[in-house]
Structure 1
């Protein structure tokens, strides 16, 4: 591990300011075809191959050693140099437990200087992942590496960049948190398409409607790792949706709803519990409407998994699409009352 985490400070680029922060360094695959970030995860003994259920059975759900909220505390993993506590993973009950953990977090602290702490961690990682840009993103200093959908990101909150008078009980308990470097490793896990799902995707016919699929600033499907709460219906898009970005449609046999937004969502008709149209009238915000699919889930803390489908600037703009999809999928459609967009 000392080899993996040795310091190579000269390779780093000096701090530069960006409104949205520097992008992650793109790291190529290793000579043996292995993803270098996943290799780092394995060297750190992060349990990325086990399901959340298996890890919970072995480790239990404990209070986070720093923040006291429920967490999976991974004492068997290799701690970072300067670690304030073991690696942790979320115990959020809306995460379906049948999939591997795909997001791990840790904190590192060396001295009472947020910039220095982040640079120390970045220096260490440069040995295995190469150099990256260190820069400002609004009130934080950041650095990151990406390979495929896997990513390591570093974030620190310099106290001099923060609003004064804010209180954080965790920082009161341990003042080192004010300048610690937050480390997040995301594996990029998603399920591959089954043969039937691949047929659904390739045969799907996009629906024509007024409005937008997904959200205005979303990334293209296959560009970013899915969130852990999304894993039941997200699939690896492979190279099947490059010409179907920002589309919503039905498979040729009518048995699945296919959405290509920031992820590829494949929802079997039998898993869709209901469609919901939410209507917002102009107030502080401009108003509009959105369409959501509520699907079956194995998450213990949720009645369903909600997938954002589409939106329109008109409060009634999604109603017709929701009703059409409800008829074609044979599921309930709920249209909300009008809420002020406050």
Structure 2
């Protein structure tokens, strides 16, 4: 099972001790623990009810939302809970921060807009603690139904754990990479900000089955897309590193926007078959163009080489 492999960082070790089911797939965890909506938010949650609870004051066990768009064969990569030891937000976040500091070292609790927060990060993996102190909230008081169901949430500390897990390269992926030939740029303009480093590339959980853990020696392919020599693997490396079997690509689409309120542009996407009925199709971005017609030719070439249909969506105005 791919979820048994994991990047080496302190959070993985902590999760192994505190919440060992985290490495299992979403489908297996849902079958073992069930999907419940009896939480104050009425979300469809799978809660990993392990004993003893790994943190003091947990209002419910670590869990994840049971979204249909997330691949059931992948593990959950975002786990969350709420901690409350009383009605004071500052006390709640300090209790939670003290517990995590025992494992990961101390971090300062800082002001972030209308919140107080503290975080630890290891590449794409992180722990974030957040409270919304009532004294820092301004404007009309928002009515949040969950707070009415459980008033402790008003001052509770939200705990969000991102595991940073991405599928490792399979032997087939490795063969495709070794023969990979770039066809074009994933963006045909210079980014205003430097791209994130390889360990912190953008994480899109809805596309997790197509993402891969990027090897450190792959930096030379950052910002390009193309096919393996046998034409069976589409490789895209912008802010996420994706490897897509061509057999799973149903079609390519190009969206073209003319300048209006905004500057316009174009997007080339692969329409992919997922293999599971709850969410049968997903779209993965392949390239972006600065102008509406920048990607016409390369999209036609990619579609012709792979033998896939290509749709040019009717022009629209950008904004």
Change in Cα spacing, 1:245 to 1:185, as seen in structure 2 (3 Å) is same
Q: Give the TM-score of the pair, scaled to structure 2.
A: 0.87
Distance 2:207 2:123 in 1: 18
Unaligned runs of 5+ in 1: 1-32
Q: 1:121 aligns with which of 78, 86, 96?
A: 96
| 1:265 counterpart = 2:242 | yes
Q: Give the TM-score of the pair, scaled to structure 1.
A: 0.82
Equivalences for residues 1-342 of structure 1 within 5 A: 35-63=9-37, 65-76=39-50, 78-165=53-140, 166-208=142-184, 211-212=187-188, 219-224=196-201, 226-342=203-319
Shift of 1:91: 0.5
Change in Cα spacing, 1:202 to 1:261, as seen in structure 2 (3 Å) is same
Give the secondary structure class of the aligned counterpart of 1:196.
Answer: helix
Unaligned runs of 5+ in 2: 1-6
Change in Cα spacing, 1:175 to 1:214, as seen in structure 2 (3 Å) is farther
Equivalent pairs counted in the alignment come to: 310
Q: Which moved more, 1:98-107 or 1:159-168?
A: 159-168
More helix by share: 2
Give the secondary structure class of the aligned counterpart of 1:92.
Answer: coil
Distance 2:35 2:296 in 1: 42
Distance 2:275 2:297 in 1: 30
Higher RCO by CA contacts (8 Å cutoff, separation 6 or greater): 1
Maintained 8 Å contact 1:93/1:300 = no
